[in-house]
Structure 1
């Protein structure tokens, strides 16, 4: 087999896409390959015996002389800088130049390689612009945005988060996010990072009590997203201070309570008294007719009995609308009284199930829970067509749970059959939120609708 001929080194240089240049120590070009022609547009004849400064823009002339001086002194030159083509186009090139030495070790010439990195620089610029835009959005958004590692330590803290919690980014970086969550949520899954992997927190919006740097507590809404970053899992927490919303909800509930109390008082003092008067008049009339043996006394007596029943009905309604004194009656007694009223008004079964007596010292807590029970029962009867309702009040894992279970047509179906969507469920959720709790409505396996309100409870 004949020995294969070895290619000439200059022929190899002519067929590579990278630019290869040689110059003397004054920067005069002595070699210019095809790669250089493709990148800079100048052919060999246009560059041989010409100064390499031709591919340096005017603004880079000082750099050219500086680089040449370094090469004369025996140093290599590396870097990325702008160059200019034959057609006046500014391009980015990556350059590596080094001196060639004679036998005495003195620089005698220069060899350099270069390649066009314009596409890479375009990508870098796009990434930088995208990064700057993302950073601008991050810093101007009204939401607090916090990133944490898998141990809960804060990695970044945007401007809005600083405004919400009172920490600067430097102060917040490195502390654990549990320091931003107040009791009674100290044992919330936000502080148990192993729950992230089980998706009990990731992707869900929840409400907690936040804690500022000065120790003040406020209601906040947050959601957690999982991000795969350089092979590690980090979490982005988006936080909203909902103090203003809670204040508005509180005002809505106050107005609602005022209107309810006013309506109850009108029923009791106005309509109730009128019905009592009609009952007494009709009763006396029936007695006179009967005494004088005149016809119609039975019919009048029947009307009198119906008016009396209507009067009792109005009184029951009035008692349900007016303010319930929780400190005097207690939630347990109020719920039992409510169950009795429901049975009397709607002629259905309504029972109360409590494993133990629960004392609620906070009058506001008791009133909100009472109203949630009242609204749930109203929905069960009017829309769910239930004839059996169970009220439960029990302590469980540091929480107080109020449950209202009914045997109606089911929550989903009852909502479909409603002609209009009322504010009842929204107000129930507002009440639960006011107590730093949550409201859940679901159907059990036996098709019963269950409304459960859970609030923190340490008594």
Structure 2
């Protein structure tokens, strides 16, 4: 089987070479040659007579005429051949040819030769169209390979390079002629050992090899390439197809993106530290102001209240009319002391760590009623207990901000504070009011400092913050803690 395939390949190659030589000759030379062959056939026929079968040679000459000179010349030659054979038979062998024999031979011979020319021309025309289409396709493939952005190289089984495009020369940094001189079976010709090793492994195993690596070119420049190497089998011959794409620009942009991501992560981490520090400073400042209000200003107001009370008693004992003014001063000072105490407790919830969030929020409800003169209810579901001072202080500050927004922006007259279990059995703190409410769009787009602080405190706890309008009117703020709380 292998021997027959080899003989066929050799024969096809010989026919192609002969065709190339004959098609390269001028048509007049070819016509003269074919007419000379026809004249020799006439001469042989005149000598040998009808007893020597020369018909096959006539048909071969017609085939050459149709193939190399076209259909018109072949039909003319068929008429000349039929006429010549008839005249030779009548002229050289008159005793064997009656008048109707000559007419019959001319008609039959011309019909056979004409039919043969028609069939040969039809077959050659179809073959010619197929060869032209194949040639166009081959040129298109060659143009695609030549102009491809990826480097493409093809090697025969014996190691010789058959195809190499300009992109391969550009990526590898060497002339195209040098690539055609490569042989993957000869180490001395190769300058990129990783490609050589991968190519040999692909040819040995028959499996495709894909990898992305930095390759060193002839000029010593490093190029990132995505490479694919595989074996292609055609008949009894194997080829190695090597395709590599320069992805250096992509790698550079990817490295830049990764560096930007790292820098962004560092910046976000620093921003988080700054925000936590800011909250810590804010918390410390509020606690300090609360302590000073309670310890300093509260003590001064207590002294003023005591002195005004003494003054009131003295004026009363003396029966002086201004004792009523002294009494009003004492009342106002006591009111100021009460409000200062409530304000100090809001800024510095000292009982938060000792008595817990629920107890502090209950006292905060009273503080809201005393300061803002509105109704404020508190409800704590039995069994709900908030553990951890950091969790409690952040929830308390969120509650303070939500109540402040309800009074200042929502103009609420009634606020309800709730500590309950959510439907998913997670701890939840709710602040409900009957104010003018807030739309979902405003809640999501809110960029106020208070809203941002609330969201950040919730994120610190890993909690979910929900701000939205209530169906019955007003606003609902809910902080749902993670399961661990």
The TM-score with structure 2 as length reference comes to: 0.50
In the alignment, is residue 257 of structure 1 matched against residue 286 of structure 2?
A: no
Q: Which residue of 1 aligns with 2:420?
A: 394
CA distance in 1, matches of 2:460, 2:326: 51
Secondary structure, in 3 states, of the residue corresponding to 2:382? Answer: coil
Contact 1:261-1:322 at 8 Å conserved across structures: yes
- The answer to whether the 8 Å contact 1:327/1:363 transfers is yes
- The CA distance in 2 between the partners of 1:301 and 1:407, in whole Å, is 39
Residue 429 of structure 1 deviates from its aligned partner by 2.3
2:395 aligned with 1:369, yes or no?
yes
Write 1 or 2 for the structure with the bigger share of helix: 2
Paired with 1:408 and 1:18, the residues of 2 have a C-alpha distance of: 80
Query: Is residue 383 from structure 1 mapped to residue 409 from structure 2 by the alignment?
Result: yes
SS in structure 2 at match of 1:314? helix
Ranked by relative contact order (alpha carbons within 8 Å, sequence separation 6 or more), the top structure is: 1
1:304 pairs with 324, 330, 353, which one? Answer: 330
C-alpha offsets along residues 35-75 of structure 1, whole Å, 9 cap, x if unaligned? 999999xxxxxxxxxxxx9x9853245359x9xxxxxxxxx
Structure 1 residue 300: deviation in Å?
2.8
Tell me if 1:433 matches 2:459: yes
The alignment partner of 2:412 has SS state of: coil
Q: Is the 8 A contact 1:443 1:450 kept in 2?
A: yes
Q: How do residues 209-288 of structure 1 correspond to structure 2 at under 5 angstroms?
A: 244-288=270-314
Q: Does the CA contact (< 8 Å) of 1:398 and 1:458 recur in 2? A: no
Contact 1:246–1:434 at 8 Å: present in 2 too?
no
In the alignment, does 2:177 pair up with 1:58?
yes
1:325 to 332, 351, 359: 351
Q: Aligned partners of 1:9, 1:415: CA distance in 2, in Å?
A: 77
How many angstroms apart in 1 are the aligned matches of 2:469 and 2:433?
10
Q: CA deviation at 1:382?
A: 2.0
Which structure 2 segments of 5+ residues have no match? 1-117, 147-160, 165-175, 186-231, 236-242
Q: Which has the larger radius of gyration?
A: 2
Alpha-carbon distance in 1 for matches of 2:309, 2:393: 39
1:409 paired residue number: 436
Q: Between Structure 1 and Structure 2, how many residues are aligned?
A: 295
Name stretches of at least 5 consecutive residues in structure 1 with no aligned partner. 21-32, 41-52, 67-95, 100-120, 144-159, 161-237
Q: Which SS does the other structure have where 2:261 is aligned? A: coil
Say what the alpha-carbon RMSD is for the aligned residues.
Answer: 4.9
**1:99-144 deviation digits (Å, cap 9, x = unpaired):** 9xxxxxxxxxxxxxxxxxxxxx9xx858x4675456435654536x
SS in 2 for 1:324: coil
* Residue 13 of structure 1: aligned partner: 131
Output aligned runs, 1:3-402, within 5 Å: 5-6=122-123, 7=125, 9-10=127-128, 12-14=130-132, 18=136, 57-62=176-181, 125=245, 128=247, 132-133=251-252, 135-137=254-256, 139-142=258-261, 244-396=270-422, 397-402=424-429
